[in-house]
Amino acid sequence: MPRLSATSRHAVSFVLNGRSTTADAEPRMLLTDFLRHVLGLTGTHVGCEHGVCGACTIHIDGQPARACLTLAVQVDGASVRTIEDLAPEPGRLSVLQAAFRRHHALQCGFCTPGMLMSLDAYLAANPEPDEAELRKYLSGHLCRCTGYVPIVAAALDAAKRLREDTANA
């Protein structure tokens, strides 16, 4: 039985943004620190480290999850997706990202990666969200700049455009 000792680093192998990745972490290392400071993906932000603010939300095995409530060693074998993988290609924005920009749904942008990762998963599963349900879902995220109004508008607009894209495809 493998017992990973507290005092050494251990290889964590997982799929990160579609690529097989291996890096070392002590058992106690938070996934936020692992992504940001070991792997250099600083788009996942740290706002509270106790799971309330949502700034660190990423996808683990396709589901939105708090990176700050996860140990790096827990994602061994999992598939992780972060904000760095959301745009279709460098220099282009996804439909959701573009809607955020159009609606001024961000100011300081610190909560934005978490919001986007959450919404990306939500809109994939709920292509026709109603505002009440969407708000309930988004209540797992804090934003201190926008007052949420443009975020909700951007998400609904993105949903509409994604539906149109699907219909046209």
Give 104 or 160: the residue with its C-beta nearer to other proteins: 104
Q: How many residues lie near other proteins (CB under 8 A)?
A: 82
Cα–Cα distance between 120 and 138 in angstroms, integer? 12
Site for other proteins in 118-147 (CB under 8 A): 118, 122, 135-147
Give 135 or 169: the residue with its C-beta nearer to other proteins: 135
Alpha helices in 64-144 (DSSP H): 95-102, 112-125, 131-138
If binding is defined by CB under 8 A, does position 156 make contact with other proteins? no
Q: How do 79-81 and 57-60 pair as beta strands?
A: antiparallel
Closest separation between CB of residue 55 and other proteins, Å? Answer: 6
Give 60 or 159: the residue with its C-beta nearer to other proteins: 60
Q: At what angle do helices 149-168 and 112-125 cross, to 10 degrees?
A: 40
Contact residue for other proteins among 116, 158, 159, 162 (CB under 8 A)? 116
Residues 6, 47 contacting (CB under 8 angstroms): no
Closest separation between CB of residue 167 and other proteins, Å? Answer: 25
If binding is defined by CB under 8 A, does position 73 make contact with other proteins? yes
Give 86 or 162: the residue with its C-beta nearer to other proteins: 86
The DSSP H or E segment spanning 158 is helix 149-168
If binding is defined by CB under 8 A, does position 151 make contact with other proteins? yes
Q: Which residues contact 134 (CB under 8 A, 6 or more apart)?
A: 122, 152, 155, 156
Cα–Cα distance between 24 and 26 in angstroms, integer? 7
Contact residue for other proteins among 16, 39, 83, 162 (CB under 8 A)? 83
Site map for other proteins, 20-59, x if CB under 8 A? Answer: ------xxxxx--x--x----xxxxxxxxxxxxxxx-x--
